[in-house]
Amino acid sequence: GIQVEQSPPDLILQEGANSTLRCNFSDSVNNLQWFHQNPWGQLINLFYIPSGTKQNGRLSATTVATERYSLLYISSSQTTDSGVYFCALTDSWGKLQFGAGTQVVVTP
Amino acid sequence: DARVTQTPRHKVTEMGQEVTMRCQPILGHNTVFWYRQTMMQGLELLAYFRNRAPLDDSGMPKDRFSAEMPDATLATLKIQPSEPRDSAVYFCASGLVPDGGLQETQYFGPGTRLLVL
C-alpha cells in the first residue's frame, strides 16, 4: 500500500514562531488531506490539496504531486495550534492512508 | 452546520460484553468509514461503505467485529465479544464521491472512546 511519512515527529514552538511540516508519500495519489487533531481528540479537516497551494488564515499547504510530497506551513503560531497534524492520502478506492503525524506543542 | 455525529461518546464495559457504536453521516454523503485510533497503531481503517454497500472491511477482525448501514442515515459498528485490546477511540467519517468522480474530503465525527476492562 501507499507509504506516508511525516516529519518531524515532534515539534515545540514558541508562540509567534513559524514552522513547516512535511509529508512524503510513496506512490502517485488521487488526493491528499491535512488534518489537525486537537488536544480533545477531534479531527478537523485543514486542507484538501491534491496539488498546488492553498491558504487558510495562518495556515497554508503546498502539494507537489510529481515529487510526492506536501508541506504544511504554520505562521505566527498560537497555543491553539497545538495538537497532532496528520497527512492522509486517498487511494483509488477512496480509502485514507494516514501518516504517523507530527505532534506540535506551542508554548506561550 | 452539518457534521458527523457519533454515539456514545464514551463507553466503559467489561470483557465479553457486546458494544455497539453508532454514526450518523452528513446528509447527502454517500461514503462512510470506520477508523480506530490507538497509541501503538495510529489511525487504522476498519470498514468502508459506499451507497450503503460494504466495499472494504479487510482492516476489521471478522470474528468479533461487524459493520452495517441499515439505512443512509445510520452506520453501526459492533464488537461481540469485546476484549481489552479493543480499547481505542473509534471514529466515523463520511464523504461524497460524485458520479464518475473521486473521493472528496472526509469529515470525521467526534469519536467514541471505548475502554474494555
**Domains of chain A (ranges, CATH numbers):** 4-107 (2.60.40.10)
Q: What residue type is B113 in one-letter code?
A: R
Whole-number pLDDT of residue B108? 93
Average pLDDT, chain A: 92
* Count of Cβ atoms closer than 10 Å to residue B18 Cβ: 11
Distance from CA of A11 to the nearest CA of B (A): 18
Quick check: B103 pLDDT over 70? no
Record: contact B103-A43, CB cut-off 8 A = no
CB-neighbour burial class of residue B114 (10 A; exposed 0-12, middle 13-18, buried 19+): buried
Quick check: B24 pLDDT over 80? yes
Residue with cell 459498528: B77
Whole-number pLDDT of residue A2? 78
Whole-number pLDDT of residue B102? 66
CA pair distance A37, B48, nearest whole angstrom: 21
B62-101 burial, b for 16+ CB within 10 Å, e for fewer?
A: eeebbbebeebeebebebeebeeebbbbbbbbbbbbeeee
CA pair distance B77, B111, nearest whole angstrom: 12
Q: How many CA atoms lie within 13 A of A43 on its CB side?
A: 29
pLDDT digits (tens, 9 = 90+) for A89-105: 887 666 788 999 999 99
Q: Which three cell numbers stand for residue A57?
A: 488564515
Q: If you average pLDDT over residues B36-53, what whole number do you get? A: 91
Of B55, B106, B112, which to mutate for an interface test with A (greatest number of A Cβ within 10 Å)? B106
Quick check: A1 pLDDT over 80? no
CA pair distance A6, A53, nearest whole angstrom: 18
Q: How confident is the model at residue A11 (pLDDT cuts 50, 70, 90)?
A: very high
pLDDT digits (tens, 9 = 90+) for B58-83: 888 889 999 999 999 999 999 999 99
CATH of B5-104, one of 3.30.70.20, 3.40.366.10, 3.30.420.10, 2.60.40.10: 2.60.40.10
Record: contact A41-B113, CB cut-off 8 A = yes
Domain ranges of chain B: 5-104
Q: If you average pLDDT over residues A63-83, what whole number do you get? A: 95
State the Cα angle at A67 between A3 and A52, rounded to 5°: 105
Q: Is A86 on the interface with B (CB under 8 A)?
A: yes
Q: How confident is the model at residue A23 (pLDDT cuts 50, 70, 90)?
A: very high
Record: contact A94-B102, CB cut-off 8 A = yes
Chain CA centroid to CA B5, Å: 11
Count how many residues are written for chain B. Answer: 117
Q: How many CA atoms lie within 13 A of B103 on its CB side?
A: 27
